[in-house]
Amino acid sequence: MSTDILGARAIYSGDQDFATLRYDNDGNLDTGFNTNGIKVDWIGRNTKDVAVSLLAQADGKLIAAGRSSYNTSGDLNSPTDIALVRYNINASLDTDFAIDGRATKTIVTPYSAGKDLIGQVDGKIVCLVESYDGSAVGGALMHLSPEPGLNYLRTGKR
């Protein structure tokens, strides 16, 4: 099945959550994905959660990466974590990923955010991370294992 996938944020009641939309080949929302083609999930309660990258895996599962921020101002000095979510093909959370299909990770404080995802041939996932340590913006690569759970194999930062 060939589909197009879009990641974004949904804003309602002052909260911001990951939003994932899946379209079929005709450009219609795919009703096999959460019955209406749209899936919205929170990462943290009362946080600003934004999905910026999606990766479709060979088994049909989707991984979304982005950020979960506890600030309301949107500046780099507020606590912000890398946010990851993995969905089954029907848009339910994949509970074999992390604790409940959702995970956060801090590489540098106060700001770490997932910016892009790359799937390797061996099934491992690489997440490109943007970070800010209070004085300089940097980057990091975070490798994730394909096994159940969320195993951070290695992180490296610049």
Task: Indicate the pLDDT class of residue 153, thresholds 50, 70 and 90.
Answer: very low
In the 8-state DSSP scheme, what is residue 88? -
pLDDT tens readout for residues 103-148 = 888 888 888 888 999 988 887 888 998 888 888 888 888 877 656 5
In the 8-state DSSP scheme, what is residue 58? T
Range of the domain at 76: 4-157
What total of structural domains would you count in the chain? 1
Report the distance separating Cα 132 and Cα 80, nearest Å.
Answer: 10
Q: CATH number, domain at 37?
A: 2.120.10.10
- pLDDT at residue 158 tops 50: no
pLDDT tens readout for residues 73-89 = 556 667 888 889 999 99
Phi-psi category of 92—alpha, beta or left, where left has phi over 0 and alpha has psi -120 to 50?
A: beta
Report the distance separating Cα 88 and Cα 112, nearest Å.
Answer: 26
- State pTM to two decimals: 0.81
For the chain, the farthest-separated pair of C-alpha atoms sits apart, in whole angstroms, at: 47
Q: What is the pLDDT of residue 7?
A: 56
Report the distance separating Cα 23 and Cα 121, nearest Å.
Answer: 26
pLDDT tens readout for residues 29-55 = 989 999 899 998 888 767 788 888 889
Q: What is the pLDDT of residue 9?
A: 56
